[in-house]
Structure 1
């Protein structure tokens, strides 16, 4: 019997043979002359003290697949699901669409407002996007998603969702998985999962072969510049994704940082900082709700808060005039007059409150 994955994958991808890089083919030896690399590193840090020069070698290509990172991340997630490290969640999204959708023929499904990269990657590949918008409370329209998924190869769901900040109830995700298990892959983007870990669906991968989870170290781990994300899935899904992964997906220097972050000490630090940030977020959200011109501060399971202001107030511009850059969400039909504010240090949040307080006082004086 043909599996769902075999039915979804384009013929061109099925025929692909992973690029046979020198590092992949490998072999053991004493002198490495197989990859057209320089045999010794050059030092381009001309101002550094020669006694403290970085002794690491940058002349060799990195591991063709960073297995140590993948294993460390499996341990962190407490899962045996197939896991691969990629260059951020954005590359994961692109790889999944290229692996399971044929340009000009197939479709993906999203529930807006949500992360814009799903539709962007699809557009770049001439793949149509079907949108089943979130309900007014930002929850999924489960029945409509299941109905429309019959015409899509991949359903992208972000939980906790960006930019609305809410985690999708696990029961809703299970209902979607049940309703699409014979028709589409369901990709759950858990970029913000450390802020609401109990809502993760990684533990469901073994029960639902059509489930794929995307993760990143850019948020709670604070490693946005390192560019490291993960795909977790069944072995069959991964077998097709692996065909498209570039030969050298991650620099060794990035891999070293990631391994430190995923060590026992690194995870302890991340968890402590996450708890601290959640406290700051909750206090900040409570203070925001006390301003009369802010109509609603939405519940958040992320490292940001979304708020809606009275239509007579341009909060984005108010903060920008004080040098505070936030994210204006007004372009989204469901998020008119909304601003998204990332949670920074306690001091940064106090500066935001101070700016809004001064604005409120000035507004009252001119009223």
Structure 2
């Protein structure tokens, strides 16, 4: 039986969070002389002299409607990286607890754990980049506080088997299962957010960086039970999202059809690249993708990477990553950009 209070670090349970001026008064009307703000607006005739809503209520209301979740099941962070950090600091005791990851996967899970002096256990994906369920369950112990599942997975690009994820959620594991859906919109799969009420130990991560085209804004979304969200709110800085971020995201949410069109275009371009890669002798293998990028194995990857770089075509060399030896990760660009890439690869072929 999942028990959140037993899982959360004891000092976080008893922590009294910082109380900001906007915690004590959240209204929009009045003479605001409580927060030591500048009353003369902002330099450059801007309007950012007041502190932003610390709980992003208006933004969460819009996200809740689009994602079909309750507003109190949403946590917003300065990118998903911030949320990952808060998950570690909420649940993992340094030098005692561990997390479990399934490499090759998003490197930030491991980096963040190591920054926080938390042990990292690894259950590598199999040769088809699918979960090794036996290995996962063997490695989980009483100190495994968080299991990370990235689907679609980065850098491999594929969805992990749905049933394998369900098997973790329905096992006797009582820690947190984080399902990272950064590339969900490209995958053709429904979000695990529809199961928040069924699995109280699940946290789902999504982002504005990919499908919404707002990587520079730095806005990540975490979805979980209201009890988990409450714990994350206890340790976050009072104003972790700027007013500009909140206003920009609200504007984007009102134009969801543009996001849908961009996703469709990126999938078209990904399929175009897959077709063109298949014609090139320098490309040895094209891995199936449910994202906006493709992992490809090439002959002499360092030479290919350097040749592309010299033409100012920048891809990601994954040759140093276990199980991705000889591989490049290539994001689908515009048609013009993709043609330039293919023409350079044709010269190499």
**TM-score normalised by the shorter chain: which range applies?**
over 0.9
1:73 to 55, 60, 63: 63
8 Å Cα contact 2:78-2:219 kept in structure 1: yes
**Which has the greater radius of gyration?**
1
Residue 121 (str. 1) matches residue 112 (str. 2): yes
1:148 and 1:206 map into 2 onto residues whose CA distance is 27
8 Å Cα contact 2:188-2:290 kept in structure 1: no
Q: CA deviation at 1:147?
A: 2.8
8 Å Cα contact 2:282-2:348 kept in structure 1: no
1:349 and 1:311 map into 2 onto residues whose CA distance is 21
Instruction: After TM superposition, list the pairs within 5 Å mapping 1:142-153 onto structure 2.
Output: 142-150=133-141, 151-153=143-145
The answer for the alignment partner of 1:19 in structure 2 is 18
1:42 and 1:201 map into 2 onto residues whose CA distance is 42
- Number of aligned residue pairs: 346
1:179 to 163, 168, 171: 171
1:105 and 1:164 map into 2 onto residues whose CA distance is 31
Q: What's the C-alpha RMSD, in Å, of the aligned pairs? A: 1.6
Q: CA deviation at 1:200?
A: 2.1
Instruction: After TM superposition, list the pairs within 5 Å mapping 1:1-367 onto structure 2.
Output: 3-26=2-25, 30-44=30-44, 56-80=46-70, 82-150=73-141, 151-180=143-172, 182-263=173-254, 266-311=255-300, 314-360=303-349
Which runs of 5 or more residues in structure 1 are unaligned?
A: 45-53, 361-367
Q: CA deviation at 1:79?
A: 2.2
SS in 2 for 1:208: coil
Q: CA deviation at 1:36?
A: 0.9
The answer for the alignment partner of 1:51 in structure 2 is none
1:75 and 1:333 map into 2 onto residues whose CA distance is 40
TM norm structure 2: 0.95
2:26 and 2:262 map into 1 onto residues whose CA distance is 43
**Greater CA drift, 193-202 or 246-255:** 193-202
Which runs of 5 or more residues in structure 2 are unaligned?
A: none
8 Å Cα contact 2:2-2:174 kept in structure 1: no
1:127 and 1:66 map into 2 onto residues whose CA distance is 30
Q: CA deviation at 1:27?
A: 5.6
Instruction: Give the 3 Å change call, closer, same or farther, for CA 347–36 of structure 1 in structure 2.
Output: same
1:170 and 1:312 map into 2 onto residues whose CA distance is 32
SS in 2 for 1:140: coil
8 Å Cα contact 2:54-2:238 kept in structure 1: yes
Q: CA deviation at 1:246?
A: 1.1
